[in-house]
Amino acid sequence: MSAARGRTGPGANPGPAEGWEASPDYAGGADAFAERLQAFSSLEKLGGFALGCTRCRLRAGCKGVVFGEGHPRARLLLVGEGPGATEDALGRPFVGRAGELLDRILEAAGFRRQDVYISNVVLCRPPNNRIPDDAEIAACRPYLQRRMDIMRPGIVVALGATALRALVDARARVTQARGQWHRVEERWVLPTFHPAAVLRDATKKKPVWEDFQMVRDLYRRLYGALPAEAAGVGPAEG
């Protein structure tokens, strides 16, 4: 999906979008819903519950929920904005052109896709790939928080402005925040440009690569080796 370029806010609206009536299992404000999600102790169970979600109107306009994929105990979590058309059709995150670029970036930095976890701030595709609004982000935010609580990743990469604002600061701008580590709860969060932004503007390629080198270096400092290195697949270059 395209990188976010406008209004978002992780706590701007504590409940579902105005005028939308969620089914009883998914109704209620963010705090009450977050409490309900405590019942799910694994990504598999949480994802199964999310498939039926009707917390906001996005679910009515997409093919299905795109929960995320990767290693369930990954130490590195990547969070984008929301599913695009290809992701919505296939039910997998980051599998379009932006996803192909992300795979190449990860590989160049020494990571394999199966060793990380990839998801988005919102789990359903917004119409015409528009930016998710505040209510949609707030409705989906408890899922993101619960995934992080279950996984406990040490490093999170915020891909684009929507992810940055949902994870770090609703007032932040990715052009100013990228390339800087932010300590959020027990995690290190690094904002960078969304791969879709790199596809639109080649000048962003170098800073994104520099950011992922920072991710690689911190991963090694925290955990000793990248997953592929620890598995004996071979050291990453750089």
Mean pLDDT for 116-132 is 95
- CB 94, CB 83: distance < 8 Å: no
- In whole angstroms, what is the distance from residue 205 CA to residue 78 CA? 17
Give residue 167's pLDDT: 96
Statement: residue 19 has pLDDT above 60: no
Rounded to an integer, what distance in angstroms lies between the CA atom of residue 30 and that of residue 66?
Answer: 20
The larger pLDDT score, comparing residue 10 to residue 175, is at: 175
Residue 3 has pLDDT above 90, yes or no: no
Length of the chain: 238
State the pLDDT at residue 14: 35
Q: Indicate if the pLDDT at residue 142 is higher than 60.
A: yes
Report pLDDT for 29.
85
Mean pLDDT (the chain, rounded): 89
Q: In what order do the strands lie in the sheet with 76-80?
A: 69-70, 117-120, 76-80, 155-159, 187-192, 182-184
Residues in a beta bridge with 187: 184
Please write the tens of the pLDDT for every residue from 24-79: 788 888 889 999 999 999 999 999 999 999 999 999 999 999 999 999 999 999 99
Alpha-carbon distance of 37 to 67, in angstroms, equals 14
pLDDT of residue 4: 35
Specify the pLDDT at position 23: 74
Higher pLDDT, 191 or 15: 191
- Greatest Cα pair distance, the chain, in angstroms, is 54
Here the tokens at position 41 are 């102790």
Q: Residue 4 has what DSSP assignment?
A: P
Q: What is the pLDDT of residue 230?
A: 85
Mean pLDDT of 132-136: 93
Query: Which of 77, 68, 163 has its CA nearest to residue 116?
Result: 77
Q: Please state, in angstroms and rounded to a whole number, the distance separating the CA atoms of residues 174 and 160.
A: 6
**Does position 12 have pLDDT exceeding 50, yes or no?**
no
Distance between CA atoms of 81 and 59, rounded to whole angstroms?
16
At 17, the pLDDT band (50, 70, 90 cuts) reads: very low
pLDDT for position 164: 96
Contacts of 158 (CB under 8 A, 6+ apart): 79, 164, 166, 167, 168, 174, 189, 190, 191, 192
Domains and CATH numbers, the chain: 24-224 (3.40.470.10)
Helix (H) or strand (E) holding 209: helix 205-223
Q: Does the pLDDT value for residue 218 go beyond 70?
A: yes
Q: Is the pLDDT of residue 11 over 50?
A: no
Share of residues in the chain with pLDDT > 90 (%): 81
